[in-house]
Each structure stands twice: as structure tokens, then as C-alpha cells.
């Protein structure tokens, strides 16, 4: 005579699919790189103005802003099938900026490590989520089968 609440009915409510952790991590790294590229552009412009760097100021500003926009755009393009390869390509400008200042290259190396971590850890999180979802569905199916079976001693209707 115990009134059992139907847990499977609550648990089987449609869930909003989770966004890929790897995608979120990749987009975050690339957006942070875009901000870093913007500030690296300002650094390069300051070095040109101060006479420490012999390059046209327009080239530094134009190229730096173009790379900043490209990095920001590539963060949005990560959901495409070729987005990961674009992200790998976006690691090159900050690493190559050592000709302007070695601090930018150090930042590029840090972002490269973060990019690799985003791919590895994000992928692991996504795999664990998929395993958890499969286990959840199996448990839910088992509960539904158990609830559908008549109890011992009860006669079928």
C-alpha cells in the first residue's frame, strides 16, 4: 500500500543537451588569444612610435587588428568540421611574434599549452558525459522494465 512516486517519469523528462566541453574550451582559448593579440598590437605600435621597432605603423596596426578579428572569428568557427585545424593555425601568430617582442612568444607558448589542454581535457569531459548518459539511459530502461512487471502474488488483470 505504499505510494511510490514515479521517479522514472521525472527522470525521463527531456533534458537539454549539454554543449561540448571541448568546444567551449577551444572557443575560450581563442577569444583570450584575440584579446592578447590586440594588446600585442598595441605593444608593437608603441615600439614603432618609440623607435625601438623599425616597421611601418600602419602595417603593425592593420596586421594586428586583422589577426585580432581573425582570432575572434575563428572562435566562432570552432563548431565547424575544420574549426580545430583553424584553431591550430591561430597558434602560429603569437608564437611567431617573437620578432617583435619575446614576451609575446611566451604568451603564445602559454596559449599553445592551453589549446592542447582544451583539446585533451575537453575531449575527456565529453567522453565521460557520454558514458554517464548511456549509464543513465540503461538505468532508466531497467527501472521502466521493473515497473512494468507485475508483482509476485498479483494476478494479471
pLDDT tens-digit readout, 28-45: 999 999 999 999 999 999
Assigned domain for 66 exists: yes
Please list, residue by residue across 67-80, b when 16 or more beta carbons sit within 10 angstroms of its beta carbon and e when fewer do.
Answer: bbebbbebbeebee
Domain range holding 138?
Answer: 20-148
User: Is residue 36, in this structure, part of any structural domain at all?
Assistant: yes
Q: What is the pLDDT of residue 8?
A: 47
Q: What is the DSSP string of 55-106?
A: S-HHHHHHHHHHHHHHHHHHHHGGGSTTHHHHHHHTHHHHHHGGGT-HHHHH
Q: What is the pLDDT of residues 120-133, one digit of tens each?
A: 999 999 999 999 98
Domain annotation covers residue 105? yes
- Number of domains within the chain: 1
Per-residue pLDDT tens over the stretch 50-102:
998 889 999 999 999 999 999 999 999 999 999 999 999 999 999 998 888 89
- For residue range 1-27, list pLDDT tens digits in order: 455 554 444 455 556 777 899 999 999
Amino acid at each position: 500500500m505504499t505510494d511510490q512516486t514515479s521517479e522514472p517519469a521525472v527522470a525521463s523528462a527531456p533534458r537539454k543537451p549539454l554543449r561540448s566541453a571541448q568546444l567551449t574550451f577551444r572557443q575560450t582559448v581563442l577569444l583570450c588569444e584575440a584579446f592578447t593579440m590586440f594588446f600585442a598590437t598595441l605593444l608593437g605600435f608603441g615600439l614603432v612610435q618609440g623607435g625601438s621597432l623599425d616597421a611601418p605603423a600602419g602595417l603593425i596596426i592593420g596586421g594586428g587588428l586583422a589577426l585580432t578579428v581573425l582570432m575572434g572569428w575563428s572562435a566562432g568557427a570552432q563548431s565547424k568540421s575544420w574549426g580545430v585545424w583553424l584553431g591550430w593555425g591561430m597558434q602560429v601568430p603569437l608564437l611567431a611574434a617573437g620578432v617583435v617582442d619575446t614576451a609575446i612568444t611566451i604568451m603564445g607558448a602559454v596559449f599553445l599549452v592551453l589549446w592542447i589542454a582544451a583539446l585533451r581535457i575537453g575531449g575527456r569531459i565529453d567522453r565521460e558525459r557520454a558514458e554517464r548518459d548511456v549509464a543513465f539511459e540503461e538505468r532508466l530502461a531497467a527501472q521502466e522494465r521493473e515497473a512494468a512487471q507485475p508483482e509476485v502474488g498479483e494476478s494479471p488483470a
